[in-house]
Amino acid sequence: VQKLFIGGLNFETTDDSLREHFEKWGTLTDCVVMRDPQTKCSRGFGFVTYSCVEEVDAAMCAGPHKVDGQVVEPKRAVSREDSVKPGAHLTVKKILLVALKKIQKNTI
């Protein structure tokens, strides 16, 4: 998935300020703050789409994110079709263990 859902946006956040923050981790192919169709006011969330998955991973690992003075919550975007599947909204955290030294009992 190359798209991130960005929740908890400041209602003053624009497409440009959202783009300015998230393009630090890669090339954005799309960036949009969702707005009410009638009032044109922000709905408090948006989406950013990166050109590759590695850039999404970099952005996710770089948190916490603060856009226009507001801490926001990025999540991997889930399609509406997939959102009904069990576990679709779970966040997976990966830990890479490169080298572990033997820990002696008396050092704990």
Is 78 exposed, middle or buried (CB count within 10 Å of its CB: 0-12, 13-18, 19+)?
middle
The phi-psi region of residue 87 (left if phi > 0; otherwise alpha if psi is between -120 and 50; otherwise beta) is left
Supply the pLDDT for residue 78.
82
Query: What pairing do the DSSP bridges indicate for beta strands 65-67 and 28-35?
Result: unpaired
- Residue 21: how many other CB atoms lie within 10 Å: 19
**What are the tokens at 5?**
């859902």
pTM of the model: 0.73
Q: What φ, ψ does residue 4 adopt, rounded to 5°?
A: -115, 135
8 Å CB contact between 17 and 83: no
The residue extents of the domains of the chain are 3-81
Q: What is the mean pLDDT of each run of 10 residues along the chain (108 residues)?
A: 94 97 97 96 97 95 94 88 57 51 54
Domain 3-81, what fold?
Alpha-Beta Plaits (3.30.70)
Supply the pLDDT for residue 63.
83
**What are the tokens at 94?**
């990966």
DSSP state letter for 64: S
Supply the pLDDT for residue 19.
98
